[in-house]
Structure 1
Amino acid sequence: MVEESRVLLLAELLVRKKWTLSTAESCTGGLLGHTLTNIPGSSNWYVGGVITYANEMKISLLNVEAEVIEKYGAVSEACVLQMVRGVCNLANSQVGVAISGIAGPGGGTEDKPVGTVFMAWQVGNRHWAKRFNFSGDRQEVKLQSVQQAIEGLVSGLMCK
């Protein structure tokens, strides 16, 4: 379970800056959006998100370049960086996060085993990405992904 206090801190930071947040989720399937909207008043700072599970959706909705997916895969730093830019543009938000990974139990490779998750964040004009290697079952990988997405947002907003 994600600590509610971290989501409340995220909300406070966004409200203080008068910024809005959008999300692009793949392997988490909307769990991040669900977690954010569990907070009363989230409509003041969370404009929404997209679940782009299929590569075609990443390309058509978020303007991820097909060549990026072909060369690096959907589970890559290059892909999530384009996803976060795409969702912020789509939602006209200043802050965003994108998540793409392999939650399992299948789908992993030697290079990208189950639990590999890439995330990218945008806070104002700053963009960054990170690779995570989570353990546990599918639900645990999704939950850890949401926790880290929120932590990245809080850290990014505290640096601004």
Structure 2
Amino acid sequence: MINNLDYKLTDLAGEIGLLLIKHKLSLGVVESATGGLVSNAITNIPGCSAYFPGSVTSYSNGIKQSLLGVSARTLSEQGAVSPETACQMALGGRQLLGTDICLSDTGIAGPGGETPCKPVGLFYLGLSTLKGVRAFEHHFTGSREEIKYQAAVAALDMLRGYLKDMSGG
């Protein structure tokens, strides 16, 4: 399954690169639970430096706060795995990296870390653009590695959908 997802990541990243160039937009990525998989897929595309200045892997809450501006209140009241945190990560990343668009992810890849309200496989993917910021909830299944790859594919697929909508389909 992972090999198929590797192909999917590369395919999505290539299509996204073409769309970003077409629209003259830049992309930043701030990752938590995917641990750099999204950024890796993007940088596997030759010429990505035309639209991708960089990324941040913010695994700890301290980095989410100090580097990305996620509020301590959000982390204590909503938790690191929440739509609010995903939105604040995406917005903070877009500002930090100086990009037009920023993707974020936060989730529980497992096998531990779940709570009664937040099961393994729960992810929030954030998208910050010049038009605003939103978070999208996803539930993935499988091993830790499979969940991380599914989340990375979902994040890139979400971005592709946004960029295709800009193109009118």
Same fold (TM over 0.5): yes
- TM class, shorter-chain normalised? over 0.9
- Within-5 A mapping of 1:5-24: 5-24=11-30
Q: TM-score, normalising length from structure 1?
A: 0.96
CA distance in 1 between partners of 2:147 and 2:59 (Å): 16
Aligned length: 160
CA distance in 2 between partners of 1:136 and 1:86 (Å): 30
CA distance in 2 between partners of 1:90 and 1:74 (Å): 19
Structure 1 contact 23–49 (Cα < 8 Å) conserved: yes
CA distance in 1 between partners of 2:91 and 2:29 (Å): 10
Is structure 2 residue 47 aligned with structure 1 residue 41?
A: yes
Structure 1 contact 25–52 (Cα < 8 Å) conserved: yes
Task: Report what 2:144 is aligned to.
Answer: 138
Note the C-alpha offset of 1:18: 1.0
Is structure 2 residue 89 aligned with structure 1 residue 76?
A: no
- Within-5 A mapping of 1:5-154: 5-154=11-160
Note the C-alpha offset of 1:128: 1.5
Note the C-alpha offset of 1:126: 3.0
Note the C-alpha offset of 1:5: 2.5
Q: Percent same amino acid among aligned pairs?
A: 35
Is structure 2 residue 161 aligned with structure 1 residue 155?
A: yes
CA distance in 2 between partners of 1:159 and 1:74 (Å): 30
Unaligned runs of 5+ residues in structure 1 are none
CA distance in 1 between partners of 2:39 and 2:164 (Å): 21
Stretch moving more, 72-81 or 149-158 = 149-158
CA distance in 1 between partners of 2:93 and 2:124 (Å): 16
Which whole-Å deviations, capped at 9, do the CAs of 1:24-55 have from their partners, x for residues lacking one? 10001111111111111111111111011000
Letter in 2 for 1:148: A
User: Please, what is the CA RMSD of the aligned residues?
Assistant: 1.0
SS in 2 for 1:93: coil
CA distance in 2 between partners of 1:31 and 1:134 (Å): 16
Structure 1 contact 123–156 (Cα < 8 Å) conserved: no
